[in-house]
Homo-oligomer: A and B are copies of this chain.
């Protein structure tokens, strides 16, 4: 499936553009015959000061422009911020013809998308992810939402954007931690879906950290294609889309227990590390494959150390309250090969406990190589 190049991607009802500037944005809008309306650029306090003006410059001849910015951080991805945005849109008389642009990372995309899906029962919005994580994951597939009382994405909607526009240049200016967080999700795609992509990631570590444009575009393109494949087969998460939760069961628990001080993709990488161990422990994965994948996670610079304040017991408790629990008990995604995932229903928690304990040990024994 993996291809060593990038291109526009057609998601059926919307397109995904990979560009190296913001300039094509106005051309795309005009090709869709969109003009003369109001546009609100929704962003957070970090991204806003970097890029809102640049995007405005591209659009200001054809549109009536507004911008709304909120305090950066997962803790502001809540209904209170959503309500501020509703208020801003009402105040400025936004109606059903108008458009929101989500300019930012996953928090901005999720929140702005949810607001677009519910304001006047739905107005159009454009995803302009500015982080690697949002580019390869949250901007694709129409999942929108906010956190509620500490529960991640408890409130939300499935709502597709008008299009997704990735300007890869902005990834260069992102804080290193943000970029690494995105790589956590990138690794996940390789683990669950594609061994060739896994090998590519093994070989291109230096190119990635040097932001070599061809490599970055290839990664973004392929991850988007992976997600497209899964989302199209299972738009409402009734079947194989749950594969995307690989690494997330434990990852979400750690993210929550660390009060969101650890970044999402970083937690996914840690969760993947443990889930690989669990897959091996349950006999689905052989020792060598498990080691190669865990080594890649460490090569990409992820630190598997969990703070001492978070016990295995805490993690198990957090997992048990996870909303992903269905009629068939805890569903857990494991690997039975590099590039191949499997759903386990009624997962026995003893494997998770053992996996976390083993994972911690493995990490202590292994020196990271970067």
- The interface of chain A, by Cβ under 8 A from chain B, is 36-37, 79, 83, 86-87, 90, 93, 95-97, 114, 117-122, 143-145, 148-149, 151, 153-158, 236, 321, 323, 325-327
Which residue, A121, A148, A153, A158, has most C-beta atoms of chain B within 10 A? A121
Known interface pairs A90-B149, A95-B325, A326-B97; A119-B154 also in contact (CB < 8 Å): yes
Report which of B95, B149, B155 forms a contact with A326, defined as CB distance below 8 A.
Answer: B95
Mind listing 17 A-B residue pairs with CB under 8 Å?
A37-B327, A79-B83, A83-B148, A86-B148, A90-B149, A90-B154, A93-B321, A93-B325, A95-B325, A118-B118, A119-B154, A119-B155, A121-B144, A121-B156, A121-B158, A122-B157, A157-B157
Q: How far is the CA of A120 from the CA of B143 in the complex (A)?
A: 11
Instruction: Classify the secondary structure of A's interface with B.
Output: mixed
Q: Which residue of B lies closest to A115 (CB)?
A: B155
Q: A90-B154, A121-B144 are in contact. List 6 more A-B contacts (CB 8 A).
A: A36-B327, A79-B83, A86-B155, A93-B325, A95-B325, A114-B118
CB distance from A110 to the nearest CB of B (A): 11
Rank and list the top 3 A-B pairs by shortest CB-CB distance, nearest first. A121-B156, A118-B155, A97-B327
Once the chains are docked, how many angstroms separate the CA of A95 from the CA of B328?
12
Given contacts A37-B327, A97-B327, contact A120 B87 (CB under 8 A): no
Within the assembled complex, what's the spacing in Å between the Cα atoms of A157 and B157?
9
Assess the A117–B327 pair: CB atoms within 8 A: no
CA distance in complex: A22, B150 (Å): 38
Does B158 contact A323, Cβ atoms closer than 8 Å? no
Q: Are A118 and B156 in contact (CB under 8 A)?
A: yes
Give A117's nearest chain B residue, CB to CB.
Answer: B157
Point out the residues of chain B lying under 8 angstroms from A95, CB to CB.
323, 325-326
CB proximity of A112 to chain B, nearest CB, Å: 15
Instruction: Report how far A121 CA is from B93 CA in the complex, Å.
Output: 27
Residues of B within 8 A of A153 (CB): 121
Interchain CB contact under 8 A, B121 and A143: yes
User: Chain B residues with Cβ under 8 A from A117's Cβ?
Assistant: 157
Query: Which chain B residue has the least Cβ–Cβ distance from A37?
Result: B327
Q: Which residue of B lies closest to A91 (CB)?
A: B149
A83 vs chain B, min Cβ distance (A): 7
